[in-house]
Amino acid sequence: MERGKAALACRRFKGRHTHDMIAIELDNIHSSYGISHKITSTVMDNGSNFVKAFKRFQPVQEDSEDDEDEVTFTDINDISQNSGGDGGGDEVVMITLPPHQRCAAHTLNLVSCTDVDKWLLSKPQTKAIYRSATTKRTGSWNKASRSTVAAETVDDIIAKKLLVPCSTRWNSFYDALARMCEIPVAELNTISSKFGMTAITEREHQFISKYCTVMKPLTVALDILQGEDNCFHGTLLPTVVTLILKTLELKSGLQILVDLPEAVVT
């Protein structure tokens, strides 16, 4: 079985990206290709306006008389005026969107880059060391990425480049820290000394190493769910179950991070 994919539209979206304008744009695309009643569901990220659009413009359930009073009509003229258009007439158009499924990969990414970060910064036993360890590492990879001389210095010491996180590339923060964990503390501190930065302590290095150990199953799951060719609906549940089991197996030997696996899976 091979996964099929095609791009139907790529349109410039002018004006404010409000939930009603998003709904109209999506409905126009569906209608123009004659697929409005063929789409079983739409998988999209967790952006608030997208979620609100799909929640508000759901089709009426035919077997429920009570729902008939909740039909949502949108005045296309009013919306066009709000977005800078030159609408004319009083035509009222009913917009309906298919059921919305939140993107599992995006949800896992939020766990890794937002929820875990908040958890670590909310605990007295992890807040200070997590902040100091990541600040020192951030300083090193920022310096190496912004200066060719600094980059050459790193290459001379460890014969490899420091990775730099990117907000649009999921797992990049983990990848950058994991690369640091491959480098002995003595060599990291040689780099810090060359850059005029504070040395990394052994305790901070071990903390980040344990952090990467806990986060690795989640990053593997995220890579699987982002697959272009071999990720199907049937892939999600086994991947999540495996993620939970493998993460909880890591609780022993984590010291001050002993509760992090539980935080990841809940």
On average, the pLDDT of the chain sits at 86
Q: What are phi and psi for residue 43, nearest 5 degrees?
A: -95, 125
What DSSP string runs through 81-116?
HHTT----S--EE------EEE-HHHHHHHIIIIIH
- pLDDT tens, 69-85? 454 555 555 555 554 44
Residue 154: what pLDDT? 95
Give the Cα separation of 127 and 123 in Å (integer). 6
pLDDT value, residue 4? 75
CB 164 within 8 A of CB 142: yes
Give every CB contact of residue 189 below 8 A, 6+ residues apart in sequence: 199, 200
Domain definitions of the chain by residue range? 19-102, 104-265
Res. 46: pLDDT tops 70? yes
Per-residue pLDDT of 200-248, as tens digits, reads 999 999 999 999 999 999 999 999 988 767 777 788 999 999 999 999 9
Per-residue pLDDT tens for 128-144? 999 999 999 999 999 99
pLDDT tens sequence across 3-24: 677 888 888 888 888 999 999 9
Residue 63 has pLDDT above 70, yes or no: no
Whole-model pTM: value is 0.77
Q: Beta partners for 92?
A: 75
Q: Where are the alpha helices (DSSP H) in the chain?
A: 19-32, 48-56, 76-82, 104-110, 116-122, 124-146, 148-158, 172-181, 185-195, 202-225, 233-248, 260-265
CA-closest candidate to residue 56, choices 84, 35, 26: 26
